[in-house]
Amino acid sequence: MDGDETSLGVTRRAAIRGTAALTVASVLPTSEAAAERTTEQVTFPNGALDIRPIVNGRPVTARIDPRTSLLDLLRESFALTGAKKGCDHGQCGACTVHVDGHRVVSCLTLAAKVDGHAVTTIEGLSDGERLHPMQQAFIDHDALQCGYCTPGQIMAAVACVREGNATSRARIRDYMSGNICRCGAYVGIVAAIEAVAAKGGRV
């Protein structure tokens, strides 16, 4: 198998635009596997798994080590680097994505579990160059400083509104507590979510 992302012609910018060719992506599963790769062969100590998730609306395939997290699959195999690795233990929320419409932390999701399921990342949120209303609201309300937690915040925020949990400032804070912002942009984040929820309509 070919384990080199560049041979797929996937650039970070293309991936961010959501235009990357993801239909055939038998690429490296984990950094551990990458370290073991000395030739063209990738070793899977306990056997490889072939999975077929739907990522940002596109059916894709991947051959993975069973240990691979969804976060590593997205970042390392599909060059979708929007979801961030903050703690890698489900404590910070920077890796938040949607699986079948529900927000999850991708670091604690075994990639094997998304076989046959739909995954949406921050790259799949915008309509081409047109930002999702929540992305625009984060800009309008200065809801970030360094930006590292922002993709996770926005994915959680979109889910928070869709779930119907953005009904008050207190409830937004409670239902966004799984996303940590060490810059402390919380006031802007809550304001952005409040504004999007107030507009109503489909988010």
Taking CB under 8 A as the rule, does residue 69 contact another protein?
A: yes
| Binding string, residues 26-65; x marks residues near another protein by CB under 8 A | ------x------------xxx-x---------------x
CA 133/CA 126 separation, integer angstroms: 9
- The string of DSSP codes covering 1-43 is ----GGGGT--HHHHHTT----SS------HHHHHH-SSSPPP
CA 9/CA 20 separation, integer angstroms: 8
Question: Which position among 122, 160, 191, 193 is part of the footprint of another protein (CB under 8 A)?
Answer: 160
Across 111-141, b (16+ Cβ under 10 Å) vs e yields: bbebeeebbbbbbbbbeeeeebbbbebbeeb
Nearer to another protein, 58 or 113 (CB): 113
Least distance in Å: CB of 68 to another protein?
10
CA 203/CA 199 separation, integer angstroms: 9
Least distance in Å: CB of 102 to another protein?
4
Least distance in Å: CB of 189 to another protein?
14
| Binding string, residues 80-119; x marks residues near another protein by CB under 8 A | --------xxx--x--x-----xxxx--xxx-xx-x----
| Binding window for another protein (CB under 8 A); candidates: 7-15, 20-28, 169-177, 195-203 | 169-177
User: Are β-strands 96-99 and 102-105 bridged in parallel, bridged antiparallel, or unpaired?
Assistant: antiparallel
Least distance in Å: CB of 49 to another protein?
6
Phi (first) and psi of residue 89, to 5 degrees: -135, 20
Among positive and negative, which fits the CA dihedral 28, 29, 33, 35? positive
Taking CB under 8 A as the rule, does residue 138 contact another protein?
A: no
Q: Which residues bind another protein (CB under 8 A)?
A: 32, 45-47, 49, 65-67, 69, 88-90, 93, 96, 102-105, 108-110, 112-113, 115, 156, 159-160, 163, 165, 173-175, 177-179
